[in-house]
Amino acid sequence: MTAKMNASLEKNLKTVYAVLDEVERYNHASRVLGFDQQTICPPLGMEEQGETSAFLSNKAFQLTKSKKFISAAEDLYANRKLLNEWDRALADSLHRDYLRNKNVTPAMDKQFSLIFNKAFVNWIQAKKNADFSIFADSLAQVRKVNLKQIALAENAKRVPYDNLLDIYERGMTTKDLKKCFDACKERLVPMLQKIQKSKKKIRTDFLSRKVTDESQREMAKYLLQTMGFDFKRGAFTTSEHPFTDGIAPDDARVTTHYYENMFASSMFSIIHEGGHALFEMNQPRENFAHHIQYCKTLGQHESVSRFYENRIGRSRAFVHLIFKKCKEIFPTVFEDVSEKQFYEALNVVEPSLIRTEADEFTYTFHIIIRFEIEQMIVNGNVDIQSLPQIWNDKYEEYLGVRPGNDREGILQDVHWTSGFGYFPTYSLGNMYNAMYYNKMKEEIDVDDCILHGDFGTINGWMKEYVWKFADRMDSKTWIKKITGREFTVNDFLDYVEKKYGELYGV
């Protein structure tokens, strides 16, 4: 390219960087307020807190609507082949956002944020009271917002749900997911029937023994330390629904929830969220310099959290590693429990109502249910008031259990307060990590590392192969780069069939 072209591109890149520097200041403050809202903000202060957060994020949105910024960003996209790989990823990301938001005015953006905020506040109240009617109107408003966003998008896809899925998992389609989930149903349903007919009985009574919040907090800190969580760059606390937020390069925050008669719940929620935090903490510093730190797909992110939660956390090696500490922190729980019994209890297959507490085997069915309902909401014209009944019927159909109230049914997850399309990424995450776990095993002795608490080696491999390129690639390209193979569900299905076949002798 010419020297003049060089100078022009460089000027536009500086313009884009300068705006994004300011955008990220507003978003940083908004994220801190959002974290506060979900953790220590008093109930009556939540709505105003959310409104302030929405005000800040809207200020950031306004900056990206300036003609100068749009012109500079679009020029980068038009000449992206001349950019380095980091800035090319940025140009692609900004172009996607431009097409998605071109016709969304700052006033609309603010209105959308306030609707999502009100939905969150109403969801909290509805869940507390186990009463869907408190949340129903907000959910209807969220659907309207999502449909309006789709209608306004310049790059809208023919299948409405594909537009929302593309926000979380670009490159994946409803057709892709249906193929994956059909394969899951084909192989997991017969396997579940075999497991339920098995004579193997797994002891789980001790999992409901009461423990204090303080002892659970001690366990959570131990688990995070074991995984390699950097407490100089991260923190943890509690919230109604556990989550992670990568607020800044050196500020990754996670939450969990303590139940006095479900100590394993907080253990595995903190391992799950700790996995998300490790991803945030170990991404390349160049991501921040080039403003692409939030370009990861949710499937990529969930692959990591569920890798640590399940592939490591529920393994025999990890149970062996932490068993002594578990007995030390929860002495009354483990006084008559063996290591083998603990491992089996953590892997018991038992159809249940709550997704976040679901066993590794039946978890996929929880996602299939949500995927099917989300399509009905977005692609069809389902009556919002009928959703609790539809939800309950699907749980009975797929898992043979039926919610007794809305809290343990349709109100259990926070995700629908901000739109639809997230849930499939959890299952995609399981499928991705099954593929790269097999690749990792070819290069390092994973079980030996876990047995000896050597997370430096595991995290080092993840940093080099899994975390390094995520923000620069869509998921299909990324998983092929890691494994050398096209995306497939078979690694995951082979893994669960082998693991649970051996556990239950079927």
Strand partners, 246: 252
List % helix, strand, coil for the chain (3-state, nearest 5). Answer: 70, 5, 25
DSSP code of residue 233 = S
- From 169, 273, 280, 360, the catalytic residue: 273
pLDDT digits (tens, 9 = 90+) for 336-384: 999 999 999 999 999 999 998 999 999 999 999 999 999 999 987 799 9
pLDDT digits (tens, 9 = 90+) for 463-504: 999 999 999 999 999 999 999 999 999 999 999 999 999 999
- Going through 123-173 in order, the beta strands assigned E by DSSP cover none
Residues 6+ apart with CB under 8 A from 341: 203, 206
C-alpha–C-alpha distance, residues 497 and 506, integer Å:
9
C-alpha–C-alpha distance, residues 290 and 307, integer Å:
28
Which residue in 181, 252, 155 sits closest to 467, CA to CA? Answer: 252
The overall longest dimension of the chain from CA atoms, in Å, is 77
pLDDT digits (tens, 9 = 90+) for 70-112: 999 999 999 999 999 999 999 999 999 999 999 999 999 999 9
At 121, which helix (H) or strand (E)? helix 106-129
Q: Are 462 and 439 in contact (CB under 8 A)?
A: no
Indicate the fold that domain 174-211+297-504 takes in CATH: Neurolysin; domain 3 (1.10.1370)
Domain boundaries of the chain, sorted by first residue: 3-156, 174-211+297-504
Q: Are 22 and 63 in contact (CB under 8 A)?
A: yes
Q: Which amino acid is at 415?
A: H
Which residue in 361, 346, 344, 359 sits closest to 496, CA to CA? Answer: 361
Which residue in 108, 110, 103, 113 sits closest to 152, CA to CA? Answer: 103
- The helix/strand/coil state of 255 is strand
- The helix/strand/coil state of 234 is strand
273 has catalytic annotation: yes
Which residue in 378, 405, 380 sits closest to 391, CA to CA? Answer: 405
Q: Which amino acid is at 424?
A: P
pLDDT digits (tens, 9 = 90+) for 182-234: 999 999 999 999 999 999 999 999 999 999 999 999 999 999 999 999 999 99
Note the pTM of the prediction, 2 decimals: 0.94
